[in-house]
């Protein structure tokens, strides 16, 4: 018995040593190549008195991060996304070079640094089954385009900064792609053979010197691109092409604060759009000359509040959003009151670990025109790794 045990122990130790050898070899690779990802799926049921609606079951996203460090300064990062179980997109893909600890340069498919959720959209980092509506209709999350620029941290000031030049949204390609109800959502080019008549500028500052308080300020400025400029000769009039382009200025502020079991989050964004009169005439759209969106959200971790010693969290939250994708109009356009909307979302999220969450919530949407809009009952799962 003693002999057999000794042989077994020796065998296990031998296997362990061989595996450790492989492990250390693999670690050389693991130091340089990085894999991660996130995923979210949901079931959403519209509810309205006297009307029957079908629900929608969707695996919204399965995203794989793949990165590689070429050396201590040069790295690559990408997010490959399968959306709604059928579409493949590249959500980010950029080369980054660290010049000094306070300054890195990057180029490629970049996230526009606008707002909280466009940049950090892992489902375990926000409350609710779906991202806030403001981060869908005003900030067209996930908003990304080809570009280059700089980012870094000024430690003494407690400020993270990002400054990029990026290719612009496409406002015209056979038809107008900006609209009154979806603003620029359909005009994103997502680094997919993007038509570029103009480059735009975007920047963000985040102040986070005090732990648990983060204040953000973002801006986006420039003009859209249009397919009508392509092949335009010098002696040809560019007036039609000029009418198909919009000027965009967007300013956003946000704040995040956490104290004990309570987390607070607020965001406000406003856009000014130029040349809407000419654009709407050309495209038959009703794009507003201004739009806005804002939300305030509070959540409480019940398990922490009850002083239960666990890694899990049970967050009860409520979020109130106001938004209008056509808050001001000019020329002959009549403002549509149906687009002046507010959402009240409340629900809970059970974090089974810090990176995996099960969610349920209920959303009530109203508009200024007092149209009947179905409520939504949502269930979801989310994880990142």
Determine how β-strand 74-83 pairs with β-strand 56-69: antiparallel
Distance CA 258, CA 300 (A): 10
Establish if 120 lies at the interface with another protein (CB under 8 A).
Answer: yes
Shortest Cβ distance from residue 31 to another protein (Å)? Answer: 5
Contact criterion met (CB below 8 Å) for 218 and 204: yes
Nearer to another protein among residue 109 and residue 197 (C-beta): 109
Shortest Cβ distance from residue 372 to another protein (Å)? Answer: 37
| SS3 call for 8 | helix
Q: What is the DSSP letter of 151?
A: E
Q: What is the DSSP string of 268-331?
A: EEEEEEESHHHHHHHH-----SEEEEEEEEEEEEHHHHTT---S-EEEEEEEEEEEEEEEE--T
Q: Where are the beta strands (DSSP E) in 48-180?
A: 56-69, 74-83, 87-100, 103-111, 144-154, 159-167, 170-172
Report 7-46 residues binding another protein (CB under 8 A): 9, 12-13, 16, 19-20, 23, 26-27, 30-31, 34, 36
Shortest Cβ distance from residue 72 to another protein (Å)? Answer: 5
Establish if 157 lies at the interface with another protein (CB under 8 A).
Answer: no
Nearer to another protein among residue 150 and residue 381 (C-beta): 150
Q: How many residues bind another protein (CB under 8 A)?
A: 50
Judged by CB under 8 A, the stretch of 40-48, 188-196, 202-210, 332-340 that binds another protein is 202-210
In degrees and rounded to multiples of 5, residue 16 shows phi and psi of -60, -45
Beta pairing partners, 251: 219, 270
Pick from 122, 135, 145, 324 the residue near another protein by CB under 8 A. Answer: 122
Nearer to another protein among residue 263 and residue 345 (C-beta): 263
Quick note: the x/- pattern for another protein over 226-245, rule CB under 8 A, is --------------------
Establish if 319 lies at the interface with another protein (CB under 8 A).
Answer: no
In the numeric block, the tokens 């489902």 are attached to 123
Nearer to another protein among residue 123 and residue 288 (C-beta): 123
Establish if 117 lies at the interface with another protein (CB under 8 A).
Answer: no
- State the distance between the two ends of the chain, measured CA to CA, in whole angstroms: 45
Nearer to another protein among residue 187 and residue 269 (C-beta): 269
In the numeric block, the tokens 């356009």 are attached to 333
In the numeric block, the tokens 């109203």 are attached to 366
Residues near another protein (CB under 8 A) are: 9, 12-13, 16, 19-20, 23, 26-27, 30-31, 34, 36, 65, 67, 69, 72, 75, 77, 96, 98, 104, 113, 116, 119-120, 122, 124-125, 151, 153, 155, 158, 160, 162, 206, 208-209, 211-214, 256-258, 263, 265, 354-355, 384
């Amino acid at each position: 018995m003693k002999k057999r045990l000794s042989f077994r122990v020796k065998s296990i130790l031998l296997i362990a040593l061989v595996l450790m050898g492989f492990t250390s070899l693999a670690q050389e690779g693991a130091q340089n190549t990085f894999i991660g990802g996130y995923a979210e799926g949901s079931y959403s049921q519209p509810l309205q008195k006297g009307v029957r609606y079908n629900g929608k079951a969707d695996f919204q996203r399965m995203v794989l991060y793949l990165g590689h460090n070429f050396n201590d300064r040069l790295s690559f990062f990408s997010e490959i996304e399968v959306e709604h179980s059928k579409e493949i997109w590249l959500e980010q893909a950029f080369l980054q070079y660290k010049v000094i600890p306070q300054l890195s340069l990057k180029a490629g498919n970049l996230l526009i640094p606008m707002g909280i959720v466009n940049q950090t959209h892992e489902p375990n980092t926000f409350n609710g089954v779906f991202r806030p509506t403001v981060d869908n209709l005003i900030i067209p999350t996930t908003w990304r385009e080809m570009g280059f620029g700089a980012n870094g941290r000024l430690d003494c000031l407690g400020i993270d900064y990002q400054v990029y030049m990026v290719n612009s949204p496409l406002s015209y390609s056979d038809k107008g792609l900006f609209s009154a109800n979806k603003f620029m959502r359909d005009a994103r080019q997502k680094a997919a053979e993007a038509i570029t008549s103009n480059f735009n500028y975007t920047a963000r500052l985040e102040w986070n010197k005090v732990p648990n308080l983060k204040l953000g300020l973002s801006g986006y400025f420039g003009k859209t691109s249009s397919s009508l400029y392509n092949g335009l000769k010098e002696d040809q009039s560019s007036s039609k092409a000029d009418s198909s382009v919009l000027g965009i200025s967007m300013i956003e502020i946000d704040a995040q604060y956490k104290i004990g079991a309570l987390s607070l989050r607020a965001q406000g964004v406003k856009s000014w759009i130029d040349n809407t009169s000419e654009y709407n005439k050309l495209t038959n759209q009703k794009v507003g000359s201004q739009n806005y969106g804002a939300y305030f959200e509070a959540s409480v971790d019940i398990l922490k509040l009850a002083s239960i010693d666990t890694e899990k969290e049970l967050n009860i939250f409520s979020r109130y959003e106001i938004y209008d994708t056509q808050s001001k109009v000019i020329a002959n356009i009549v403002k549509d009151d149906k687009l002046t909307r507010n959402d009240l979302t409340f629900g809970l999220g059970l974090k089974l670990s810090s990176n995996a969450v099960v969610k349920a919530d209920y959303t009530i949407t109203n508009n200024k025109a007092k149209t009947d809009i179905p409520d939504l009952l949502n269930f979801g799962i989310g994880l990142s790794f």
